[in-house]
Chain A
Amino acid sequence: MTLKQTGRLTDTPTHIETDVLVIGSGAAGMYAALEAAKAGAAVVLADRSLIGRGGATVMAQMTVAAALGEQTPDHWEHHLSDTLGAGRGLCDERLAALLCEDGPRRLREMDGWKVGWAREDGHIKQAQAPGHDRPRCAYVDFLATGPAVSRTLRSRLIAAGGVRRIGDLLIVDIAVRDGEACGATALHLPSGRIVTMAAKAVVIATGGLTGLYRRNSASSNMAGDGYALGLRAGAELIDMEFVQFFPIGHLAPRLVGMDPIMWDPFRYKLGGKLLNAQMREFEQDYATADGRSDGRYVLTRDLATYAITKEVEAGRGSPAGGAYLSFAHVPEAEIRGAFGPVVDRLAANGIDLARQPVEVAPIAHYHMGGLRVDQTLQTRVPGLYACGEAVGGANGANRLSGNAITEAFVFGARAGRSAALRASQSVADWQPEAAHAAIDLLRSATKRDAPNLAAIVVELKAIMADMAGPFRTEAKLRSAAEAIERLKAEVGGVPISSVATFDPVLVDWLDLRNMLLVAQSVIRPALARTESRGAHQREDFPTVDDTWSVNQTVALSNGEIQLGRSAVIAGRAAA
């Protein structure tokens, strides 16, 4: 084994001081930065990728739910009732109410910023989406909601000023002093240098963890960074066993240039049929088990995921291991009308929906769990806030479609304002010691013979998909836990580096440090919850057990995961 220090890491760290540090530049992070700056704070918005390009927002092609009452009369209490229903008794009602009550204001603010919500007869058009009692979901045509949201918020950031935006900056650890968050330590990827940041408040807006799974609908950098950062800083996680799988993620033929979850609105509009290898509709076979349905669909998302998985297990799957989605019964002109220019993008991929079905299969889509926060979006670590998908609790055991972008806006704005308020009441008092542990960790990086970390990332994703995916058993979860322990040993406690700048090996090592911890934070509560509820389905415990109407929490104590239970918070916060 050859040991050699990597050059740049030993350079004197670059130091930055600010009032509020926001980590992650999806919709939640950008909204947080905007609101914090509006409240008078100096803000740094950092992203490991380029600003406004990574994360989930830019990938969100679908709808944004809020009780605007534009399409049909509505009230946020109706939206809340649907959100709590979808959450299967586990929602933190304070957060769910905040999401639903503040949603309309934020969508109108975005409308004023010219995001371009689709309109009809002079009003914002709201579509009916699964699980909602009425048309409530705004969108930007065609499949452009996420990119339009990202672009709009980024333009506002640039116009508003007061926010220093820094891309290619990978946060390694939150700096904590006397139990309070005071900044962060980061790796600047292009230069390979360490950066320390002093901040009076830190906002985690790093999104979810679907990147832990082989097939997922998020960006490559959404593998739970923020959960690991929060855990190591002393924060608690909640509802980590609830990973939402989207039943009809695109599987085959290879489709490039498009989001894998693009089929849903079209299936909804045109009544696309799910067929097994015998070209037979099978959803009805699974409908009797549960009377629920999602509007025009026979099955809810969780049941459709179950049905496809079971058909594949029974040997009736499509060639690539999923189900067929067919629009062959729909007249060609109607397909063109619904899909618009998307038809041409499909044609470029060799897909002609009037003539051939595509193959679809469940895909990791969203994480209900996340950092546990109060109604100011602060974690139990003073000065450490979270927003967007990084937050757990608002959606309980299952998220209502359309709520993800809404929570990004609402929680982002609230976290940004709370962080700015804290910053205005604090004096700068940076102690370099708060960054020493993270700096020492980075500087201990060595070039050495080691397993290919990129291959270990691939292996970890396969383990999570196969053993801790939508359908779980004690045996599968235990084997996942054992496999994670083995991978932890292979990855080791000392960072591995390869080159001085833009080092993908060091990034893989830092990612695996987070991913393996977060994977354990999913597996442990999944093993403990001996029932099936919402997105957590145990084949060995197939029904809801009322004694499990509690939230589970995850925290770190002396480096070990501690599992806890906590009564569900019912009742509202003062807005």
Chain B
Amino acid sequence: MKATLAIQRGSPGEPPRIETFEVGFEPGQSVLDGLRRLRAEADPSLAFRFSCINANACKECMMLIDGQVGYACTARLKEGVTALAPLPKKALIRDLVSEIAPPDERL
């Protein structure tokens, strides 16, 4: 099966652009599985946060998935288009990465 990921990319100060990727998947795989596969197969410069991969323990992969705040590691890939964007109320760092660290845990 194929999923289409429409990903909002870019850095602060530049107009965001939507880039669209097709990625193969097995039923049950997560959006994070798809993003990791995209990096290895298509564009290694794509930036997104994750740490625990699978367990929903680190809570780092939070992003906007089809307009809703969610975790890429628990949202499932589906056929058709899935829109991904950084969290809207956090400062953008790049692509899907936003500043989610508490202020006193930053440099």
Contact = CB atoms under 8 A, between A and B. Distances in A.
Interface of A: 14, 49-51, 53-54, 58-59, 146-147, 165-169, 188, 190-191, 195, 219-221, 253-260, 349-350, 452-455, 457-458, 498-505, 508
B107 A188 contact: yes
18 contacts: A49-B51, A51-B101, A53-B52, A54-B52, A166-B105, A168-B106, A169-B107, A190-B107, A219-B51, A219-B52, A219-B53, A221-B51, A256-B28, A259-B57, A452-B41, A453-B44, A502-B94, A504-B39
Contact of A257 (B36, B74, B93, B106): B74
Given A190-B99, A501-B93, A166 B76 contact: no
Contact residues of A: prevailing secondary structure: loop
A168 B101 CA distance: 9
A256 B40 contact: no
A219 B74 CA distance: 16
Contact of A505 (B45, B50, B105): B45
A47 to B, nearest CB: 9
Given A350-B28, A454-B40, A498-B44, A258 B107 contact: no
Interface residues of B, number: 41
Given A167-B106, A257-B73, A54 B58 contact: yes
B105 A258 contact: no
Contacts, number: 130
A281 B33 CA distance: 33
A349 B28 contact: yes
A80 B62 CA distance: 42
A256 B33 CA distance: 10
A167 B105 contact: yes
A453 B27 CA distance: 27
Contact of A504 (B26, B44, B53, B104): B44
Interface of B: 11, 26-30, 33, 36, 39-41, 44-47, 50-60, 71, 73-74, 76, 93-95, 97, 99-101, 104-107
Given A168-B101, A454-B39, A14 B73 contact: no
Contacts of B27: 254
Nearest to A453: B44
**7 tightest Cβ-Cβ pairs between the two chains A and B:** A254-B28, A498-B45, A454-B39, A54-B51, A257-B56, A53-B58, A454-B40
Nearest to B46: A504
Contact of A50 (B45, B105, B107): B105
A499 B10 CA distance: 10
Contact of A220 (B30, B51, B97): B51
Contacts of B46: 504
B47 A53 contact: no
Given A51-B101, A455-B41, A501 B94 contact: yes
A259 B60 CA distance: 15
B58 A502 contact: no
A350 B55 CA distance: 16
Contacts of B93: 190, 501-502
A350 B30 CA distance: 14
Nearest to A252: B28
A58 B58 CA distance: 7
A253 B52 contact: no
A256 B59 CA distance: 13
A220 B55 contact: no
A80 B93 CA distance: 48
B49 to A, nearest CB: 8
B101 A167 contact: yes
Nearest to A211: B53
A190 B49 CA distance: 11
A123 to B, nearest CB: 28
A45 to B, nearest CB: 9
Contact of B11 (A147, A168, A195, A501): A501
Given A49-B51, A453-B44, A504-B47, A191 B107 contact: yes
Contacts of B56: 256-258
A254 B94 contact: no
Given A452-B40, A503-B45, 7 more contacts: A58-B58, A165-B105, A221-B51, A257-B55, A258-B54, A260-B55, A498-B45
B68 to A, nearest CB: 16
A155 B56 CA distance: 20
Nearest to A451: B44
Contacts of B74: 256-257
B61 to A, nearest CB: 10
A188 B101 CA distance: 13
Contact of A14 (B76, B97, B107): B107
B52 A220 contact: yes
B107 A53 contact: no
Contacts of B39: 454, 504
Contacts of B94: 499, 501-502
Contacts of A58: 52, 55, 57-58
Contact of A59 (B33, B55, B95): B55
A168 B36 CA distance: 19
A260 B53 CA distance: 10
Given A166-B107, A257-B74, A454-B40, A50 B60 contact: yes
